[in-house]
């Protein structure tokens, strides 16, 4: 199975390691072998030998990236390649392009991959949160596209939702938390910790975006909400998602360091809000709500004894109310963040595409 990997950040590197570590399992259980034909980072792309396992080359690239260097700096790798050339040479039926970047500049590659008969797996939310028509184009081939980890990481929200929607079961409402980072912050507030301290801890542990205001401003969750709403067949744009952030917009105009240093000014406000909620037997969560033609994200007060109120740590929880899942919703709960979890979810997506399409070839080889 030929793979092309875009993005060699934490998630991309974890995926490569996981594919390496799983080789024996995949060969034994499914008789399949992944050939990573090319990798790219923001500096450029490198073509790899087309012979699995090619572990040596992979190892060299992983070491190189771990050392904080870009692919363009890598004199020792043969085969630097222009992206246009890479797409032209490598995208073909059966190949899978995996987008582990956080960039909106991969859209043309994903489109080309599909047009050339290949498949795509996205961990990157950006392509699916641009114009509706791009979303529609990228997800038009159910057997050739997976995007599970764009929402709540490895928690299989998208595949469960797609199963429900495919049958025509009517979804009335989706409500849940889909950010491990904000889950951590909201649960910490409930435990009496300071907002600024929680933000700093999340930032320093690498759980936030490089600029933590991306998470705290709500745009990250808004993108996930948009992907869920579009998954229901709704036609809408990111600007149609109502976003209530955790920080005032004035915080956006300063540097990350200044922001982290001044976040204490928000502590008292959140302490008061949480205490008032607790006094009512409730707590605060950062929630996605999709219902009645409205898609919104923001802080909600939820009963401590509700499924969302009982959440701990950075667990996520999504409730789907439909005609079939009624009166009680379908609930999906569990860890919805983390580099290893995301890499595992991407690999599930890849395997689903490969195993589903193995239909005809397996038959041919057997009969």
| Residue 136 within binding range of a second copy, rule CB under 8 A | no
Closest CA to 38 of 108, 88, 75, 73: 88
Q: What is the largest CA-CA distance in the chain?
A: 71
Per-residue x/- mask for a second copy, residues 139 to 178, rule CB under 8 A? --xxxx---------xxx--xx--xx-xxxx---------
Under a CB-based contact definition with an 8 Å cutoff, are residues 329 and 192 in contact?
no
Chain position carrying tokens 């006094």 = 279
Active site residue 28: no
Site string (88-127) toward a second copy, x via CB under 8 A: -----x---------------------x-x-x--------
CB of 156 to a second copy, least distance (A): 5
Interaction between residue 335 and a second copy (CB under 8 A): yes
Selected catalytic residue, list 28, 125, 126, 224: 224
Q: Measured from the CB of residue 206, what is the shortest distance to a second copy in angstroms? A: 18
Binders of a second copy in range 192-251 (CB under 8 A): 233
First to last CA, the chain: 22
- Compute the least distance from the CB of residue 177 to a second copy, in Å: 14
- Whether 2 and 94 have beta carbons less than 8 Å apart is answered as yes
What are the C-alpha distances in Å from 17 to residues 46, 55, 63, 232, 312? 17, 10, 11, 34, 29
DSSP 294: E
337-364 in b/e form (b: 16+ CB < 10 A) is bbbbbbbbbbbbbbbebbeebeeeeeee
Our CB check for a second copy shows the closer of 142 and 206 to be 142
Contact string (CB under 8 A) for a second copy, positions 12-41, x = contact: ------x--xx--xx--xx-----------
Token digits of residue 130? 């641009």
Where on the chain is the footprint of a second copy (CB under 8 A)?
Answer: 18, 21-22, 25-26, 29-30, 93, 115, 117, 119, 141-144, 154-156, 159-160, 163-164, 166-169, 233, 312-313, 315, 324-326, 328-335, 340-341, 344, 347-348, 351-353, 355-360, 362-363, 367
* Positions marked catalytic: 224
């Amino acid at each position: 199975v030929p793979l092309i990997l875009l993005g060699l950040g934490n998630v991309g590197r974890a995926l490569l390691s996981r594919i390496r570590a799983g080789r024996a399992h995949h060969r034994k259980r499914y008789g399949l072998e992944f050939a990573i034909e090319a990798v790219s980072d923001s500096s450029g792309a490198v073509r790899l030998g087309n012979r699995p396992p090619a572990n040596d080359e992979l190892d060299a690239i992983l070491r190189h990236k771990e050392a904080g260097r870009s692919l363009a700096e890598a004199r020792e790798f043969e085969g630097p390649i222009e992206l246009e050339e890479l797409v032209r040479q490598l995208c073909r039926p059966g190949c899978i392009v995996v987008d582990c970047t956080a960039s909106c500049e991969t859209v043309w590659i994903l489109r080309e991959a599909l047009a050339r008969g290949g498949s795509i797996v996205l961990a990157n939310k950006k392509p699916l949160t641009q114009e509706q028509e791009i979303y529609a184009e990228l997800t038009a081939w159910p057997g050739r596209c997976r995007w599970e980890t764009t929402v709540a990481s490895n928690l299989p929200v998208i595949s469960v939702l797609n199963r429900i929607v495919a049958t025509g079961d009517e979804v009335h409402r989706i409500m849940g938390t889909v950010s491990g980072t904000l889950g951590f912050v909201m649960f910490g507030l409930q435990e009496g910790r300071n907002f600024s301290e929680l933000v700093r801890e999340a930032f320093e542990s690498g759980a936030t975006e490089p600029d933590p205001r991306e998470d705290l401003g709500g745009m990250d969750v808004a993108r996930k909400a948009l992907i869920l709403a579009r998954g229901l067949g709704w036609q809408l744009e990111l600007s149609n998602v109502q976003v209530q952030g955790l920080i005032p917009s004035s915080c956006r105009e300063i540097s990350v360091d200044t922001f982290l240093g001044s976040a204490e000014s928000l502590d008292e406000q959140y302490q008061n809000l949480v205490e008032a909620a607790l006094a009512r037997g409730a707590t605060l969560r950062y929630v996605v709500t999709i219902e009645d033609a409205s898609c919104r994200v923001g802080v909600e007060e939820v009963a401590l004894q509700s499924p969302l109120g009982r959440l701990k740590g950075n667990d996520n929880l999504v409730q789907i109310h439909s005609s079939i899942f009624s009166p009680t919703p379908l609930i999906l709960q569990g860890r919805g963040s983390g580099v290893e979890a995301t890499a595992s979810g991407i690999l599930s997506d890849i395997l689903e595409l490969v195993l589903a399409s193995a239909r005809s070839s397996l038959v041919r080889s057997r009969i």
